[in-house]
């Protein structure tokens, strides 16, 4: 079975790009790709805290995303895009799942692709970002839960940049669920290095969240 | 004026404080209030400010996501180099002088993202063609009876216009109601030696327009920045509020029309008496360049998310990439009937433009035209509002305009790649912030996010 084709509207807003990126992560899992290819229906995700919203049209292998909540959405999920998982995340409210239970379950599954260990996700992010001009030549990532460390890039000498965070935070930024700069400003991530490296790492993190480095994305 | 002359001038005027006034890429006026002796000691490089001053957004969040060569790895100083020719006494505080500055690095080199320096580069490039430019800004804004604090408490909605609450332009009844406010504005402009030609009540409730005399480009942009500052200060001093947001209400928006002309040593360069319509070939190439680069320049002429709310058909703002003689519905209104009047009125600019960058983008567009010999498309002899899609339209979002600028090699080469890179990144940042921190991309009217972010500072 061919992998589902994911398309977004032209000049798509961040929430559309981020959800499309999540779906593309799901496509990388054979089981979820197959499940996505069989889905048919319209799901909308709406923010509980601001006006962000995205409509996802699953049509047996074709997935089209656009801004807003479509009037013909079968299932509408209201959630906080900035706090979708982890401790304290509010429970999403779901409307329409009673009438479309299988679709709701299937769509929810493909929107929550399993994340690997933070180290594996960090390696994937590094592979995506490392050739970017002005990126640090090496990155030391330290998990503050257990002092587990991962060195990426040049193995010699002092690391050019160091990142410190909990396993949950590191997992969130390296999967693209959260953005490095936001986590800095929120105090959940700490760094040792230059402002230049922090800024460029954040730029790559934004691009990763919005789906760069996850294959071609078709624009409608 | 030399530093010694400045010292004597400050002493002669009894100045105790000098306020530096520099323009950031986002159009903020950045400065320090310096004791006179400190100001004098700082010359010629001027006082230092942190380079972070150029690196946070209009909501106060540090720009993160890219890097610029002019920045220092761990935050450092840049300097505000005074342009001593711009020293003026501030009329409402006679013991204080104000001085425009250029932003330079610690060795005195202009920052590539200093809007005033970018504009000077365009003037210099014109000079290499034996040309000088004159420019005159039409400045639109709106003023309200509520103080800034009251306006903020109301979320900047439902405010009381200082004139008539009617959408009528030019009426003297409206102007009479505005006069207590505007009289104080022009009194201060007179005191600062800023030659204004006229002010009038404009079409939206509380809306005024101030017309300045033509001047060389840097002076014209400096004066525009200062006029906007004076308006805000008069509002603040008199318990009112004022804004230059492109569309702060659901009524007509605020624009900034920029008239400009070119001169050679022997006379007006836009005029050629040997042609039937009086237009020189240089004028036509200039128009050709402005038209070709207009989608890209639009990013600079419509700098905020709110700028794009002004682009509504039949709401007086141009929405198409068009030009024509004596046609106020097009983007470029040409006047060529008389050598003394020969000029281009660039009507695209929003009320919230950075005047230095906007004029630099316009001069760059014209330069691209004369350097490449670009011919303009056909003149638009139609009402250009509400034209169907087959006519070229201006980009309709901050993201689309940024894409157009990033793709425009001519404008990038002229304005400088570092400037354009910084600008494009900051516009994308603004788009992300609008979408992810409470704005509403679906909203057809101005959002709370825009009012909170822009009303008091643009």
Question: Mutating which of B50, B59, B65, B398 best tests the A interface, going by the most A Cβ atoms within 10 A?
Answer: B65
B269-321 pLDDT, tens digit each: 999 999 999 999 999 999 999 999 999 999 999 999 999 999 988 888 999 99
Closest Cα to residue B414, out of B354, B359, B349, B351?
Answer: B359
Please, which residues 423-452 of chain B have a Cβ atom closer than 8 Å to chain A? Answer: 432, 435-443
Q: How far is B26 from chain A (nearest CA, A)?
A: 19
For the segment A148-169, the average pLDDT, to the nearest whole number, is 95
pLDDT of residue B337: 83
pLDDT of residue A1: 67
For the segment B384-397, the average pLDDT, to the nearest whole number, is 93
For the segment B53-63, the average pLDDT, to the nearest whole number, is 93
Share of chain B above pLDDT 70, in %: 100
Please, which residues 108-137 of chain B have a Cβ atom closer than 8 Å to chain A? Answer: none
pLDDT at A87 over 70: no
- Sort residue B345 into left (φ over 0), alpha (ψ -120 to 50) or beta: beta
Interface of A with B (CB under 8 A): 11, 13-15, 50-53, 67-68, 134, 181, 184-185, 194-196, 198-200, 202-203, 206
For the segment A127-149, the average pLDDT, to the nearest whole number, is 96
Whether B441 and A67 lie within 8 Å, measured CB to CB: yes
pLDDT of residue B312: 87
Per-residue confidence at A213, pLDDT binned at 50, 70, 90?
confident
Chain A residues within an 8 Å CB radius of B63: 199
Chain B residues within an 8 Å CB radius of A203: 64-66
Residue holding tokens 């100083």?
B77
pLDDT of residue A220: 60
pLDDT of residue A66: 96
Whether B442 and A68 lie within 8 Å, measured CB to CB: yes
What crossing angle do the helices spanning B355-372 and B115-128 adopt, rounded to 10°?
A: 30
For the segment B20-24, the average pLDDT, to the nearest whole number, is 97
Q: How far is B69 from chain A (nearest CA, A)?
A: 10
Query: Of the candidates A14, A134, A195, which has its C-beta nearest B75's C-beta?
Result: A195
pLDDT at A88 over 80: no
pLDDT at B39 over 80: yes
Query: Of the candidates B64, B74, B432, which has its C-beta nearest A14's C-beta?
Result: B432
Judge contact between A36 and A27, C-beta under 8 A. Answer: yes
pLDDT at B352 over 80: yes
Judge contact between B260 and B270, C-beta under 8 A. Answer: no
Task: Search chain A and give the residue with CA nearest B437.
Answer: A50
Whether A51 and B438 lie within 8 Å, measured CB to CB: yes
Q: How far is A52 from chain B (nearest CA, A)?
A: 7
Whether A50 and B437 lie within 8 Å, measured CB to CB: yes
Chain A residues within an 8 Å CB radius of B400: 11
Whether B64 and A203 lie within 8 Å, measured CB to CB: yes
Whether B439 and A14 lie within 8 Å, measured CB to CB: no
pLDDT of residue B338: 86
Q: How far is B65 from chain A (nearest CA, A)?
A: 3
Q: How far is A177 from chain B (nearest CA, A)?
A: 14
Peptide bond between residue B44 and the one before it cis (omega within 30 degrees of 0): yes
Share of chain A above pLDDT 70, in %: 96
Judge contact between A181 and B433, C-beta under 8 A. Answer: no
Whether A199 and B63 lie within 8 Å, measured CB to CB: yes
Q: How far is A147 from chain B (nearest CA, A)?
A: 27
Whether B400 and A11 lie within 8 Å, measured CB to CB: yes
pLDDT at A89 over 90: no
A30-83 pLDDT, tens digit each: 999 999 999 999 999 999 999 999 999 999 899 999 999 999 999 999 999 887
In residues, how long is chain A?
Answer: 220
Whether A50 and B438 lie within 8 Å, measured CB to CB: yes
pLDDT of residue B314: 83
B164-198 pLDDT, tens digit each: 988 888 999 999 999 999 999 999 999 999 999 99
How far apart CA A63 and CA A60 sit, in angstroms, is 8
Q: Give this complex's ipTM.
A: 0.90
**B139: part of which helix (H) or strand (E)?**
strand B132-144
Closest Cα to residue B141, out of B353, B319, B427, B430?
Answer: B353
Per-residue confidence at B425, pLDDT binned at 50, 70, 90?
very high
Share of chain B above pLDDT 90, in %: 91
Pair type for strands B196-201 and B93-104: unpaired
pLDDT of residue A203: 97
Size of interface A-B (CB pairs under 8 A): 58
For the segment B8-19, the average pLDDT, to the nearest whole number, is 98
Whether B73 and A195 lie within 8 Å, measured CB to CB: yes
């Amino acid at each position: 079975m061919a992998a589902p084709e994911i398309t977004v509207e032209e000049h798509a807003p961040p929430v559309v790009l981020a959800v499309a990126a999540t779906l593309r992560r799901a496509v990388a899992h054979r089981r979820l790709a197959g499940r996505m290819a069989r889905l048919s229906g319209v799901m909308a995700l709406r923010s509980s805290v601001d006006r962000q919203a995205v409509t996802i049209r699953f049509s047996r292998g074709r997935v089209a995303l656009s801004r807003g909540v479509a009037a013909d959405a079968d299932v509408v999920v209201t959630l906080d895009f900035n706090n979708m998982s982890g401790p304290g995340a509010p429970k999403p409210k779901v409307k329409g799942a009673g009438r479309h239970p299988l679709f709701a379950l299937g769509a929810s599954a493909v929107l929550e692709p399993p994340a690997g260990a933070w180290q594996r996700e960090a390696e994937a992010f590094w592979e995506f970002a490392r050739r970017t001009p002005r990126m640090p030549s090496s990155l030391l990532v330290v998990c503050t839960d257990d002092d587990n460390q991962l060195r990426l890039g040049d193995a010699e000498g002092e690391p050019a940049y160091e990142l410190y965070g909990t396993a949950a935070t590191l997992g969130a930024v390296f999967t693209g669920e959260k953005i490095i700069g936001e986590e800095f400003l929120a105090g959940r991530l700490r760094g040792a290095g230059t402002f230049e490296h922090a800024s460029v790492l954040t730029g790559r993190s934004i691009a990763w969240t919005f789906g760069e480095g996850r294959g071609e994305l078709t624009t409608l | 004026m030399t530093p010694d002359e400045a010292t004597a001038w400050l002493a002669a005027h009894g100045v105790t404080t000098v306020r530096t006034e520099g323009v950031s890429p986002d159009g903020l006026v950045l400065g320090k209030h310096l004791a006179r002796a400190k100001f004098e000691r700082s010359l010629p490089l001027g006082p230092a400010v942190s380079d972070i001053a150029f690196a946070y957004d209009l909501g106060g969040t540090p720009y993160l996501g890219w890097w610029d060569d002019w920045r220092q790895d761990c935050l450092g100083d840049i300097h505000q180099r005074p342009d001593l020719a711009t020293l003026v006494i501030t009329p409402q505080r006679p013991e204080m002088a104000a001085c425009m500055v250029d932003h330079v690095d610690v060795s005195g080199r202009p920052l590539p993202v200093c809007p005033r320096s970018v504009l000077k580069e365009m003037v210099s490039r014109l000079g290499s063609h034996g040309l000088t430019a004159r420019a005159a800004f039409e400045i639109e804004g709106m003023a309200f009876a509520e103080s800034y604090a009251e306006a903020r408490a109301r979320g900047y909605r439902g405010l009381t216009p200082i004139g008539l609450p009617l959408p009528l332009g030019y009426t003297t009844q409206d102007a009479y109601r505005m006069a207590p406010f505007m009289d104080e504005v022009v009194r201060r402009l007179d005191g600062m030696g800023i030659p204004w030609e006229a002010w009038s009540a404009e079409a939206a409730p509380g809306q005024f327009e101030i017309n300045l005399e033509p001047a060389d480009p840097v002076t014209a942009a400096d004066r525009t920045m200062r006029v906007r500052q004076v308006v805000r200060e008069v509002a603040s001093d008199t318990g009112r509020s004022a804004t230059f947001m492109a569309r702060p209400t659901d009524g007509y928006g605020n624009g900034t029309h920029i008239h400009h002309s070119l001169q050679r040593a022997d006379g007006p360069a836009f005029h050629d008496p040997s042609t039937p319509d009086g237009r020189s070939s240089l004028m036509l190439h200039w128009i050709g360049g402005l038209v070709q680069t207009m989608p890209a320049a639009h990013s600079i002429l419509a700098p905020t998310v709110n700028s794009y709310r002004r682009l509504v058909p039949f709401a007086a703002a141009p929405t198409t990439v068009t030009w024509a003689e004596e046609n106020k519905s097009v983007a470029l209104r040409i006047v060529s009937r008389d050598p003394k009047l020969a000029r281009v009125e660039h009507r695209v600019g929003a009320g919230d433009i950075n005047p230095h960058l906007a004029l630099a983008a316009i001069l760059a567009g014209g330069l691209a035209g004369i350097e490449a010999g670009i011919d303009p498309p056909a003149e638009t002899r139609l009402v250009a509002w509400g034209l169907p899609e087959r006519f070229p339209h201006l980009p309709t979002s901050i993201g689309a305009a940024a894409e157009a600028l990033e793709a425009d090699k001519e404008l990038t080469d002229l304005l400088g790649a570092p400037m354009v890179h910084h600008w494009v990144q900051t516009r994308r940042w603004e788009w992300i912030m609008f979408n992810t921190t409470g704005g509403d991309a679906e909203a057809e009217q101005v959002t709370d996010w825009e009012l909170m972010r822009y009303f008091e500072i643009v």
